[in-house]
Amino acid sequence: MESREKPEISPFDSVDPAPPSQESNITNLSNTLSDENEKMFQRMRALFALRNIGGHESVDALTNAFNSESALLKHEIAYVLGQMQDPHAVPSLIDRLSDTTEDVMVRHEAAEALGAIGDMIARVKNAQARNHKKVALPSSNFKTKIADILKNEGFIKDFKIEAEDNKPTLSLELKYHSGNPVISAFERVSKPGRRIFSSAESLPKVNNGDRKSVV
């Protein structure tokens, strides 16, 4: 009988149906995940390992497996992409959501993942519209990295991670100038099929030098 490790709480505060693989090579994990002849338990282990590794290569490995015949696996892929909250996954998630031939549970989870990725922007915009000094949202590694960039670039005063009901919460201290939000607008310039990369010096300036955030 095959020995299976007991699932434990993941870094994303979830109890996964399989423990992550100990393999750290993304190519090997991708091959296992996409192998239709491999046992589902091992494919799940590869999936959660890729999630924990993170980064664009892991996202690509996960989204490539959307070609699988298993609706269950594709549902789990969309779920972990929502946990990762990496915008690099957005085009593939939109494809899953838009495909009317896709299993309904996969499309539903793709929609949930897209909502999770856009949640941070929506919360900041809503808080600023009400002149709130702070805004709190569920924490993740990706959101923390964005918060660090916003602080270093002067768009927010500070941020910190707090524990609320035993769950990590990211608290952003918003910044205003003459009563107006320092972040004047969010604009998405990278879209499916059209990615734009710009240096910090080339980003537009508004309000006499107050910078405009580009997400």
- CATH classification code of 132-214: 3.30.1370.30
Whether the predicted model's global pTM rises above the 0.75 cut: no
Q: What is the pLDDT of residue 37?
A: 96
How large is the average pLDDT for residues 207-212? 49
* CATH fold group of domain 26-116: Leucine-rich Repeat Variant (1.25.10)
pLDDT at 76: 95
Domain ranges of the chain: 26-116, 132-214
At 25-56, the pLDDT tens digits run 999 999 999 999 999 999 999 999 999 999 89
pLDDT higher for 4 or 148? 148
List, in order, residues 6 or more apart from 160 with CB less than 8 Å away. 170, 171
Are the C-beta atoms of 156 and 147 separated by less than 8 Å?
A: yes
